[in-house]
Structure formats: structure tokens, C-alpha cells
Structure 1
Amino acid sequence: MVVDLSPISKLKGLQYINLDGVHASDFRPLLDLPEITPDYPISSGRSLSFKRAAACADAKIEAASQVSSEEARIQALVAHLRTLPPWPEPLPQDIPPRPADPDAISPPEQDPDLKLVWGENGFDFFAAQAGRDPIVDAALEELRQLLETLLRKGNAHDDLYARARKALTLLDTDLPDALKLHIQYQALMRLHAGADARQEKFDDETVAALASLRDVVPGITLTNPDVLTLIGRQEADRTATPFGVDPARERAVLDRMADKDAPFAPAVRDAAVAAADPDRADRLTSLRRILSRNGMIAMLKLGARAAVAGVIGTGSWQGLTWAVSNADTLTSLALSLGDDIYWWARTMLDRIRALLEVRAAGP
């Protein structure tokens, strides 16, 4: 069931697009396809059909779907889509009525299964340290050896090298963070699962080392109850139908969180990249809903605290300017979570803007 068109906006060379009957209610991602813009050569023989699509609830899209000429149909659709706010900004008809007192709305709470806390590198995962005993210590040493093998083999595979390096870095502490380590383990298992489809194949030693991680890592990370809780949540979300409140809006937030200048720690940015992958359906992508939601809530609550205090720290300045720069993306996700959360987000962003304006004006 197709409900999200944002992934196809990254494809090129599409000539024939059949969206008849799809459940996607927002066609604006199509504007990123050069093949449906008016400037694209008519002689290309392009085709776009979208009868009975959910987006046809919009009368102008419904009217365009009935146009018999391929070119006229495409031009009518594009002309209408260009009158709408840019994706992923909420459509005007989707914005709920303003409540009498938005300030009275109770702020939402982060999902406790993947809570983010503010630290020296921006928002990071709440620490979930692995337990230590002789058995775990032996497993950690075995894990280090496996990761060093993968690091060596990664000289021919950039993605493998990066994952092995990040996992090894987590072992350079007395008490490794079990949550971060398990997420890196899941990323390495993703590489193992996709080994057969790779253009540059892994050799037998690499495949064996990846497979051996299954015998080692769970014995380390599953000593922490927070990891067990997260895995249960991942599996529940992964098998839910449909999964996610609004995949396109969740991915849009994660894409912004993954930016190198975003106020999130490297582990969070890395998880955001993995969770936003539209071509995967595994435990890493099941982080999409809770990570995007927690990122939005954590950032806006940071702004709320700064607004109450009337002071912006050096680190939080970066976070608040990021929130304002990505206001449309954040409010778009908030809208998919309910009217109250939408208006709470709007109110927080207004406060952040006001605070930044005062700061910019100087003493």
C-alpha cells in the first residue's frame, strides 16, 4: 500500500508513473521529479496517471486526473501543486483551528524507549551502560577482535570500515554504552543481511566475522534492561500495519537531524540516517517513529526552558537556530501526531523565534 511518495522523488529517469488508486494523499513530492515539470521535453512520451488516488480528495487534483491528454494532465497537476506550500509544510486544509489558549496545552513527553538528553555534543542517547562481569569481559575482548578483523577488511569497503570503527570506539571506555553498541550491532547486521546483493562482495572471512557478531554482542548488550525494552519496541513497531504515523514526515525530520551541523551527537545522527532509509524494513528503520518524535520534542523543550530562563547558552544557541530553520519540518511532523502537539510545537517555535530576536538585537 503506497502512502508516501517522497522516496520516488529521489529517482531519476521515470517516464511512466501509474498512481491510480494509491493511498498517498500528498502529491507534492512529485515536484522534485524533473520528468513531470513543464520544461521537460514533450517528445519524451512521459505518462502520469493518478485516478482514484487519495490525493483526489482535492477537487483540482481530481479534475486533473480526468484530463485525457497526457501532457495537459501533467501540466494541470503541476500547476496546482505549485500553488500549495512546499512539502513537507502542512497543507492549509490540514491545519487545525487554533485553541483558545495554546499555552495551556500540556507538553508531550519523549518516548522513554529512546530518550534524548542534552550534552556537550548536542542531544545524545540516554546512557545505558553494559554490565560487567568475567563473562561479559571475555565477550568484550572477543568482540574487539572481531571488530578489528572487520576494520581491516573494511579497507576495501567504506561502509564496513565506518561501522566497525564506530563500534570499536564504543569499547574504549570502562563501561561501554550498551544501547549505542546494540544500534551499531544492528547496523553491522544490516550489512550482513545485504551481503549477497553488494556489487563489491565481502570475502568469506568478512562474512564469517559478521555472522560471529550474533554469538557475541547480545551477551554484552542484553545485560541492560533498556536494550531489551528497545528491542521489544522495535519489533512491535516493525510488524505494525501501517508502521509509523506519517513515514514521509518522520523521514524528513530524521534527514534534518542527520545533517552534520545539526545539534545532535554523532550516535544520534548516525541512527537517524539508518532509520530514514526508505529501502529498508528492519529493526533500524523501526527506530524512525520514536527517534523523529523524540528529536522534535527534545529540541522544542530545550527552547521552552531557554524561553523561561531568558538565557541562551552557547551550545543551545545552535539547537534553537536549528529548530527555527527547520520549523516547517518539525511542525509538519507535529501535525501528524495530533492537534494539541501541533499547536504546542507552533507555540514553542514562536517563543524560540522571539528569544533569538532579542538575543540578536543585543543588550
Structure 2
Amino acid sequence: MSVIEVPQNSPFGRDNLPYGVFSVAGGAPRVGTRLGDTVVDLSVVLDDPVFAAPSLNPFMAQGPARWAQVRESISAIVAGDLPDNALHPVGGVRLHLPIEVGDYVDFYASEHHASNLGRLFRPDAEPLMPNWKHLPVGYHGRSGTVVVSGTGIVRPCGQRKAPDETTPSFGPSQRLDIEAELGFVVGAGSGLGDRIGVDTFAEHVFGAVLVNDWSARDLQAWEYVPLGPHLGKSFATSVSPWVVPLAALQAARVPLPGQDPQPLPYLRGSQDWGLDVDLVVRWNGEEVSRPPYKDMYWSPAQMLAHLTVNGAATRTGDLFASGTISGPGKHQRGAFIELTWGGREPVTVHGEQRSFLQDGDEVTISATAPGPNDTRIGFGEVTGTILPAR
């Protein structure tokens, strides 16, 4: 039996207790939580077969009352002696995709990001489209290409057409980009024809992950009119391996920056679900941006309400993401197309002027949020390395 020693100021203290799926050499994937630098095997300490599953889906499907009960039990258990066969150093385990992704929807909820792209793509028009402040704009992505942090990202190929070309060509993307985002995991789904209200968000959403929605800007620019993103987005979306439960983010909740005009009634609620989450983007190990989630215009509760207002069903494991997180400052932009202003204002990475991703580049996004009693809640990291086109 052992007691877990938690390093001082660890973002994985008892106020966090995120869920993930891990395996050790020769063992099957199963559910664990992280305390400090230790992964705790929940199938051992809770003696419940639901945690011996290779994903969080069976547990998440049990609903919010069960989530609260298990979190309370884990918090009490990890404060005392734990069996040695349940404890593993985080550096000695393999972390897997924590959920079986049902559907994936990506939103476009940052006014700063949307305005910047509007100025880049439509310099002689209003930055925001007429609908943008009336509804959370989004598109339906591809769940089968959601991958866990550490998975290599193959440079995508597709059609491209530069403004000075008369016809398109085919080949590897030359303007490969990132999008630093926060994603939300549906635990308890809703039926076809039903709606999830803004104030019932926490009854359905289990927790949050970091997301890098890789984007091929040259493929996207040629294909997105009139139906929106397709091949420029569908090749890969990376997520962090730890799912931070909503219960761990209560101290991070803040009001939204302000919505004008007032949203339609189905997008209004009495609960604030703005979140004070600070992200850091590192390009080949060098910090290039610090996007602030608290500046997002639309809340995740509004995103889910809009996603289901037409009666669309949701399922355990559905993932929806915020879209690129950007703040008002240049150093707060969460996509390289913004950060380098379409490539015209390169940033310096290890002494080299860079605009878009080259083969071999590695991007890591990390994040923390306020916890109780001046603690910090960590999301871990989502990392990906660019591999050559095939």
C-alpha cells in the first residue's frame, strides 16, 4: 500500500482528478485518473468492471448522478493508502483516445478569430457575416479522424487554387495550420426530436479536453464555398488524453464578455458557462501564443443548445469544439493564419521566420484554469508532429 505524493502546485491535484484511458506493457486499456504524476487504475480501486473498459463511454452513459458519486468516492480513496498494483507513474503508461467519438461538431465561437479571418478573406466587407452574432456558427466534422495526442499528422493532399491561377492543381497542402480549441464531451445523450436547454448543459456534458483542429488553409479556401469546410479539416483532429470533468471547472466559470444583440430565447439561460481557461501554444518547443478562452463570445452551453434545437440527437461520446480561441492581442491568436496574418507577417521560431507548418514541425497546446483555493486545474497537453504527405 502506498500514499500518493503530489508535487506542490501540481495542476493535477485532488481538485482536478481527470479521467483517461491508459495501458501498461502487456496490459489492456482501462480507465484511470491522474493525481500528481501518478495514474490510478480505477478498475482496481473502485472494483467496478465499467472502469475495465477501453473507453470512458460506458461510465459516461451512466449519467450525472453517477458521475458525482464516483468523483466523491475517488476523492476520498486517493487521500489514503492505495494498493500498489493500482498505481503507475504517468511516464510509464501509454495514454489512449479516452472516448469512442460518436459525432464531431466544430464551432466558430471567438469573435476575435472570426473578425480576423473576415478581414483577411474579405478586406472590403464587414468582418462578420450577418448571422454570426445571432447563432453559434459551426460545421459537422469527421469523428473517425479524431486522434489522441502524440499521433503523427500526415500532411493532407487535395485541390488547391491560388488567386493568380486559372485552374486548380492537386498536391500536398502548402498552408498547413493549427487551431487551438477547447472541446466538450457529451456523456448523457438526448433523443431524436429533443432539445437540450442552455441551463441543462451540465446534465449532458461530462467534461472538457484540449483540441487541435488541424487545418489545410489552401484546400479550405478553394472548397469552402458554398457548403463549408470539408477536406481542409477532415484529415485529423487531435485531442488531449485527459478529460477534465465539469465538476473540476466550477471555480473557472465566468460571465460571457457580453452579447449584443441579445440572443433569441433558446440561447438564453440563467447559468454562466464562460470559462477562464488559459492556453499556451508552442511551435517546436517555443511559445508563440497564449489564447484566452474567457474572451469567447458563445458559451459551450449555447453551442449545445443550438446543436440540438432542430431536434438533432446526441450520443454518449459526441464531441463538440469551440473553434479557434483568440484574444484581442496578436500574441493571443490561436491559429497561425491569424498569428502571421495570412503569411505576410511571419513569426520567429528558433531564429527562423515561419508562417505555416513544415514537415517535422511539432505543435503542443497546453492549458490550465483556476481551481478552488488558488489552485490551478491542468488539462495536460495535445501534441502532434507533421509527417510528409503520402
TM-score per shorter chain, which class? under 0.3
TM-score by length of 2: 0.25
TM-score by length of 1: 0.26
Higher Rg of the two aligned structures: 1
Whose relative contact order is higher, 1 or 2, with alpha carbons under 8 Å and at least 6 apart?
Answer: 2
- Greater strand content: 2
